Amino acid sequence: MSSNPSNNDDDTPKDPLSEMLERLMGGNMQGMDPQEIAKAAGLPNDPQAMAMMMQQVQAMFSAQSEGPVNWTMARDQARRAAAAGGDPSVSSKDQREVDDALRLAEMWLDPVTDFPSTALLGRAWSRAEWVEATMATWKRLTEPVATSIALALSNAITEQMPEEMKTMMGGATSMLQNMGGAMFGMQLGQAVGALSRDVVSSTDIGIPLAANNMALLPANVAAFGQGLDISEYDVRLFLAVREAAHVRLFTQVPWLTGHLLGAIESYARGIHIDMSKIEDVARDIDPSNPESLQSALSEGVFMPERTPAQETALARLETTLALVEGWVDELTAAATANLESSVALREMVRRRRATGGPAENAFASLVGLELRPRRLRDAAALWEQLRQERGIAGRDAIWQHPDLLPTPEDLDDPAGFSTRRQLAESGDADVDAALEKLLAGGFEPAADESSEGEDAPEPEDGGEDSNGGTR
C-alpha cells in the first residue's frame, strides 16, 4: 500500500497547525487556504489580500525577525486595514482645500494665543499615508508591552505544542519564538489600520503621532461631517483650527512631546503580563485552532489589574492629555467664534474625544492603555479661567515648564488655582530667601550662643546666671 505524505507512519492524521507549520518550513505553499490563515490571525476574511500575505508570512517564520514583534508585518497589515473599503488617493483639489483651510486656521489662531505660527506646510494625507507617517510613534509607544505579550504567547504556544511537533521542528526554535510576535504584530497593524479610518488629522488623538507635521485626512473629514446639517467647508475649517492649535502647542513647547510620550512609555513599561492567566488560557488553547489564541489576545485577557503605582501614573497621563485637549478646545472655540456652526462642532468633538470610537477601544484592549482625555471639559474651564485672570500671555506662560502644569486638584476647582499657586510660590520664595541668607552668612547666632555667653563662666547648679536669675 502506498504511503500517504499527509499521514504519519501509523496513518494518524496530523492536526491542521502541524501541517501549516510543516509547509511553511519546507517552503511548500501549495494547498494552504488563505481563509485559514485569516482565521488564525483574527483578520477579516479577504482571500485575495491574505494570499498576498502568505509569502510574507513564510519569510517571517523562516528568516531572522527584527525582534520579538514583527513590525514590518504590523505596518503592512495596517496599510491593508487602512485600504479596506477603499482609500481614495488625495487629489490636487483635496490638497488645495486642506492647505487653504490650515493657512486660514493659523491666521485665526494668531489673536487668541501668545505662541507664534509654526509656518509648517499643510498636508492632505490618505489613510495609508497616515499609517506610514505615524508607525514609528506607534512602535515607540507599544513596544514595551508588545514585547512582553509576544514572548508570553510564544511560551504558551511552545508549552501547548505536542511533543511530536516539537521534534518535527527540531532546531527551528526561532520560528516558534516569532509566532507570538507575528500574532501581535498583525493584531496591532489591524488596530492601527482601523484607527486610520477614524482619525481626521495627525494629532486627532491628542499626541503628535507624526512629529512636526500638520495634516488632515480629506476622506475622513468628509465622513466626519456626514449626517450633519453643516457645510463641508465649515467642518474642514473647524478641524483645521484644532489641528493647527495642536501642532502650534507641540512645536512651541519643546518639552511637551517628550513629556507626554515619556509618560505613555513609562506606563507601558509598567505593564506586566499576568502569567497565571497565560497558564489558564494556555490550557484552553487548541494548537490546531489558532483562533482561540487570537481571541484571547484581542480581548486583552493577559493584562493584569493595574497596580496602585500604575493608577497614579495613569492619572498623571490623563491629566496631561486633558490639559492639552482642554487648551486646544478653548483656543478653537475662541478662534472660531464667528463660525456659525462652531458651538455644535465643539460639542461633537468633545463627546467624540471623551468616549472614543470602536477602533480606539480595540487599540486600548490590545495594549492596555486608553488615550482619552476624560477631563477635557474641566481642563477647558481651567484655561478659560486663567485667560480671564492673567490674559492670553499669562495663560500660555503655564506651558513654560512641566512643574507649572495644573494638577487634578486644579481641575476640580479651577477658580482656586491662582490662590493655591500663589501660596505655593510664596512658600517657595520664603525657603529660597532663607537658604540664600544662610549661604551668605547673614544669620546672626542666637543670644545663648553669642561669644559673650561662651566666654562667661558656667554657673554652678542652684547659683545665679549672668542676668541674676536663679538656675
Q: Which residues contact 352 (CB under 8 A, 6 or more apart)?
A: none
Residue 386 Cα to chain centre, angstroms: 28
Measured between its terminal Cα atoms, the distance across the chain in Å is 119
| 205 φ/ψ angles, rounded to the nearest 5 degrees | -95, 10
CA distance 46 to 53: 11
- Is the CB of residue 398 less than 8 Å from the CB of residue 391? no
Which band of pLDDT confidence, cut at 50, 70 and 90, is reported for residue 206?
Answer: confident
Out of 14-28, 125-139, 145-159, which region has the weakest mean confidence (pLDDT)? 14-28
Query: What is the per-residue pLDDT for 62?
Result: 47
pLDDT tens-place string over residues 293-349: 556 555 555 555 677 777 777 888 889 999 999 999 999 999 999 999 999 999 999
Kindly state the helix (H) or strand (E) to which residue 88 belongs, with its residue range.
none
- Tell whether the model's pLDDT for residue 269 goes beyond 50: yes
Written as nine digits, the cell of 244 is 493647527
Query: What is the per-residue pLDDT for 452?
Result: 46
| Mean pLDDT value across residues 388-410 | 94
- Is the CB of residue 41 less than 8 Å from the CB of residue 156? no
What is the DSSP code string of 252-306? HSHHHHHHHHHHHHHHHHH----HHHHHHHHHH--TT-THHHHHHHHTTTTPPPP
The answer to whether the Cα torsion of 181, 187, 191, 192 is positive or negative is: positive
CA distances from 259 to 268, 274, 317 (A): 14, 28, 10
- Is the CB of residue 55 less than 8 Å from the CB of residue 29? yes
- Tell whether the model's pLDDT for residue 285 goes beyond 60: no
Classify 397 as helix, strand or coil. helix
Task: Give the global pTM.
Answer: 0.73
By DSSP bridging, strand 122-124 and strand 214-216 are: parallel
| Mean pLDDT value across residues 189-195 | 89
Burial environment of residue 363 by CB neighbours within 10 A (0 to 12, 13 to 18, 19 or more): buried
Pairwise pLDDT comparison (413 vs 152), residue with the higher score: 413
- Tell whether the model's pLDDT for residue 249 goes beyond 70: yes
CA distance 345 to 234: 9
Counting residues of the chain whose pLDDT is more than 90, the rounded percentage is 36
Query: What is the per-residue pLDDT for 18?
Result: 46
Kindly state the helix (H) or strand (E) to which residue 164 belongs, with its residue range.
helix 163-169
Burial environment of residue 16 by CB neighbours within 10 A (0 to 12, 13 to 18, 19 or more): middle
pLDDT tens-place string over residues 121-134: 999 999 999 999 99
Written as nine digits, the cell of 76 is 503592512
pLDDT tens-place string over residues 51-110: 555 555 554 554 445 566 778 888 999 999 999 889 999 999 999 999 999 999 999 999
Written as nine digits, the cell of 310 is 500604575
Which band of pLDDT confidence, cut at 50, 70 and 90, is reported for residue 215?
Answer: very high
Classify 464 as helix, strand or coil. strand
CA distance 26 to 19: 11
Counting residues of the chain whose pLDDT is more than 70, the rounded percentage is 58
Looking at every residue in the chain, the average pLDDT score rounds to 75
- Tell whether the model's pLDDT for residue 275 goes beyond 90: no
Pairwise pLDDT comparison (328 vs 184), residue with the higher score: 328
Out of 42-56, 60-74, 378-392, 404-418, which region has the weakest mean confidence (pLDDT)? 42-56
Out of 156-170, 223-237, 282-296, 370-384, which region has the weakest mean confidence (pLDDT)? 282-296
